[in-house]
Amino acid sequence: MSVLEASTKMSTSPSGKEEVKQTPEEPFPDLSTKLTSREGLAKSRDGSYQLSDVRTGLIVGIFNIGCAVGGLTLGRLGDIYGRRIGLMCVILVYIVGIVIQIASIDKWYQYFIGRIVSGMGVGGVAVLSPTLISEISPKHLRGTCISFYQLMITLGIFLGYCTNYGTKKYSNSIQWRVPLGLCFAWAIFMIVGMVMVPESPRF
């Protein structure tokens, strides 16, 4: 019996005419692979839960919003405490955001908040780092040094892709905790490096 045949039944009305009645069965059970929203999670046919598309998009996109907020607010630290100390402060903000994300276990909004905080730190770096580079670089190397800032960002994105590729075979939290944990290495490296960088003469 086909799926469509199983989903319909023939019955006879009092007048003697046959009528077709639909049964509650779903005629195309394969369509049950569609995800149904439940408290921000999506349930697949095998019973597992995943983040819905909306919340996945929010978690990904909120980082850039955090960058915008951090660039507008934390960049002010460079005018108050100096470019060097300001950069150290925004890197600490970034580290706090990473810790919040790694520590998340079963609360999606904790990871969401961590993305905002780490994004604010990156936004502060995006303002203060080119500023410091331009103010301490020799005039004949200024353009080259500032362009290296963007080059290193591109290199970091590439290394991030490589790390994600290396952990994609894992089905547990290692898949995302290891790439996040490696962010500490670059943050600590930058803080240590800032100790050896002179303060801007314009501060």
What pTM was estimated for this model as a whole? 0.74
pLDDT for res 41: 59
- Determine if residue 40 is left, alpha or beta; phi over 0 gives left, psi from -120 to 50 gives alpha, anything else beta: left
Sequence ranges of the domains in the chain: 3-33, 56-195
CA–CA distance, 67 with 12 (Å, rounded to integer):
68
CA–CA distance, 75 with 85 (Å, rounded to integer):
11
Q: List the chain pLDDT tens, one digit each, 203 residues.
A: 433 344 444 444 455 554 444 444 443 333 333 333 445 555 566 666 677 788 888 888 999 999 999 999 998 999 999 999 999 999 999 999 999 999 988 788 899 999 999 999 999 999 999 999 999 999 999 999 999 999 999 999 999 999 999 998 888 888 889 999 999 888 999 999 998 998 988 87
- Length of the chain equals 203
pLDDT for res 38: 47
CA–CA distance, 172 with 129 (Å, rounded to integer):
36
Q: Which CATH number fits domain 56-195: 1.20.1250.20, 3.30.70.270, 3.40.30.10, 3.40.50.970?
A: 1.20.1250.20
Which amino acid, one-letter code, is at 10? M
The total of other beta-carbon atoms located within 10 Å of residue 127's CB is 23
Of 82, 81, 75, 74, residue with least CA distance to 198: 82
CA–CA distance, 165 with 171 (Å, rounded to integer):
13
